[in-house]
Amino acid sequence: MQFGIFTIGDVTEDPTTGRVPTEHERIKATVEIAKKAEEVGLDVFATGQHHNPPFVAPANPPILLAAVAAQTERLLLSTATTLITTTDPVRIAEDYAYLQHLTDGRVDLTMGRGNTGPVYPWFGKDIRQGIPLAVENYNLLHRLWREDVVDWQGKFRSALQGFTSTPRPLDDVAPFMWHGSIRSPEIPEQAAYYGDGFFHNNIFWPAEHTRRMVDFYRQRYEHYGHGSYDQAIVGLGGQVFMRRNSQDAVREFRPYFDNAPVYGHGPSLEDFTAQTPLTVGTPEQVVEKTLAFRDYAGDYQRQLFLIDHAGLPLKTALEQIDLLGEEVVPVLRREFAALKPAHVPEAPTHASLVARHRAGQDPVPGGAADSPAGRARAEQESRAGQGSRTGQESRTEQEARR
């Protein structure tokens, strides 16, 4: 199982001192946080993509990830998320293939629509077309990385004739793709169709909502012939703040929680910790609550924690990573490994994807590898995904929303 951290890159006033870091300080601190993650033995560092204050997470994440790659050796670099709706798929294909070469394959991506409405018109898009944009753009990205020459025509960007995206993916294998969503069933449907991973960033949601979203994705993953229900590739988010004494953790974190730009001035800290994955307490409490994610999400492959938000100073964020690496993740690795059945796969890596590719086992969208029936279904489902949904799919989505 992979463990790591993700950042949303907010530039937020420290409510205990009144100081706001400069953008330069926040950017440099983010690199230090990523380096610390590798130092303590974490597996993944992921960055969001934003185009607006108060966030300084890169509008072009490969810039940050390339800087981190140059200063690390093992850390897997990812996004949380890449805005598939407002970023040109051709640019994504080029930038991340280049990053894949620079990192020797230490990169994967999480596709998402983001949560900032004004971004859409800034890039000439209509937020009301968010889902169709995500479907069409990812279909193009998927082809750009798997076909040397692409002829393509869609609704939302200019057509391509005889286009080759360069550089080609490292070892002729595209980076592994996660699809991130917190509430839209069309996104886990898309992830399942392609045989990709589904990342449910459940930081704001109660367990029952996460269970429904993950269950829906697992059902559709099996439906499309990529594996059994419990072999689907799932990632989860989480937020933690730790001290050796739980009362100290609550007292220290409360002003940051109460004034945070993403959830401040809403439910109380106590209500939020009771109803969502947020854990404020001791490392032992973080272990206990995180292990319980398996009760409603099943055996999953990736766990990322948010630890540097809401104005927390760099020193505090680094202390949180130390606690994760020393006292939390080793226990979680051992406990999750003991519980995981042998037939449940690990999270894909570049090495494992290359091995599958060379063995001729690449996933076929909408069907099992090398299956004629799967290929026929892929063509049918792809047409349906870019137009109206089938009645059966609509009912399934309605069930997921309930």
How confident is the model over 357-398, as pLDDT tens digits? 999 999 899 985 444 334 434 444 444 344 333 333 333 344
Q: CATH topology for 2-401?
A: TIM Barrel (3.20.20)
Name the percent of the chain in helix, strand, coil, to the closest 5.
50, 15, 40
* Two structure tokens written together for 353: 């994807």
**C-alpha to C-alpha distance for 118 and 125, rounded to whole angstroms:** 10
**C-alpha to C-alpha distance for 116 and 50, rounded to whole angstroms:** 8
**C-alpha to C-alpha distance for 63 and 59, rounded to whole angstroms:** 9
Instruction: Give the other-Cβ count within 10 Å of 308's Cβ.
Output: 24
Question: Residues of the chain whose pLDDT is less than 50?
Answer: 369-402
CA of 336: how far to CAs of 229, 272, 333, 340, 400, in Å? 18, 25, 5, 6, 27
Taking a C-beta distance cutoff of 8 angstroms, is the pair 196, 353 a contact? no
Neighbouring residues of 182: CB distance < 8 A, sequence distance ≥ 6 = 200, 201, 202, 204, 205, 213
Residue 7: φ, ψ to 5°:
-125, 145
Lookup result for tokens 């870091």: 21
pLDDT of 203 reads 79
Is the peptide bond between 276 and the residue preceding it cis, with omega within 30 degrees of 0?
no
pLDDT of 117 reads 67
In this predicted model, what pLDDT tens digit does every residue of 225-282 receive, in sequence order?
999 999 999 999 999 999 999 999 999 999 999 998 777 788 899 999 999 999 999 9
**C-alpha to C-alpha distance for 106 and 349, rounded to whole angstroms:** 8
**C-alpha to C-alpha distance for 129 and 58, rounded to whole angstroms:** 24
Taking a C-beta distance cutoff of 8 angstroms, is the pair 73, 31 a contact? no
Local structure of 168: helix, strand or coil: coil
Lookup result for tokens 């570049």: 350
Instruction: Give the other-Cβ count within 10 Å of 101's Cβ.
Output: 15
